[in-house]
Amino acid sequence: MPPDARRLDEQLDPASTVLLTVECQRGVVGPDSALPELAAIARASGALANIARLVAAAHDAGVQVLHAVAERRPDGRGASRNARLFRAAERLPVQQFVGSTAVRIAEPIPVAEEDLVVRRLHGLSPIAGTGVDALLRNVGCRTLVVTGVSANVAIPNAVFDAVNLGYTAVVPADAIAGVPAEYTSAMVRNTLALVATVTTTGDVLSSWKRPRRGR
């Protein structure tokens, strides 16, 4: 086995790995998205399909899956308003309201009973201030595989937070998306590659299919 594959196998041990999906909800990447350009790119690039493949493989391999969902109350209570992005979100035609179809995990991503779902009302990060760190430690996580949207904001936030908290971050570059489409590769190459293991969906799937000692 090549050294890079051996290293990836060590990082992706199912017993200590969690697969994170970020904002893969119907109101963001679904057909009725509040952000149609982002949703179109997520689908056209194959990122959404790759996330679905990774989640299905994680279920088969015994890897814990955690879905991070961004939502808001209809009255806006508790929501952040300290950035232009948040104020713009208030005016979108599709709102990510608590309990609505917009905050359900988007097809074709499978959701299993054992999956964890963490919902946040504030901020930019699926990790900081959400209780996710405690959940990751409680399930024995050492490596966090980060997937989802967007490469503009939430994905780099998740990677930086994971690294700052002591986790190894793994990013399948073909399982994230941002706007414009070419920005994602630039973000991966110039930023995420400096702090995370950048790989592909295929390499992650191959790693989880390989037999391991004690299994």
Helix (H, G, I), strand (E, B) or coil at 44: helix
What pLDDT, on a 0 to 100 scale, did the predictor assign at position 173? 98
- Tallying the residues shown for the chain, one arrives at 215
Q: What is the pTM for the complete model shown? A: 0.95
Q: CB–CB of 212/17 below 8 Å? A: no
Of the candidates 174, 168, 176, the one whose C-alpha atom is nearest the C-alpha of residue 9 is 168
- pLDDT at position 186 is 97
Instruction: Kindly state the DSSP code that residue 92 receives in the 8-state scheme.
Output: -
Q: What's phi and psi for 200, nearest 5 deg? A: -125, 160
Q: Tell me if 122 sits within 8 A of 154, measured CB to CB.
A: no
CA 215/CA 213 separation, integer angstroms:
5
Residue 184's contacts (CB-CB under 8 Å, 6 or more residues apart) are: 45, 151, 173, 176, 177, 178
- What distance separates the 2 farthest-apart alpha carbons in the chain? 55
The beta strand positions in 12-132, using DSSP E, are 17-22, 64-70, 116-120
What are the distances in angstroms from CA 71 to CA 14, 87, 168, 179? 29, 14, 27, 20
pLDDT at 213: 64
pLDDT, position 90: 87
The predicted structure's pLDDT at residue 131: 94
Peptide bond between residue 126 and the one before it cis (omega within 30 degrees of 0) = no
Collapsed DSSP state (helix, strand, coil) of residue 82: coil
What is residue 92's predicted lDDT score, i.e. its pLDDT? 87
Spans of the chain below 50 pLDDT: none
Nearest in space to 204 (alpha carbons), one of 176, 162, 183, 178: 176
Give residue 214's pLDDT. 55
SS3 of residue 170 by DSSP: strand
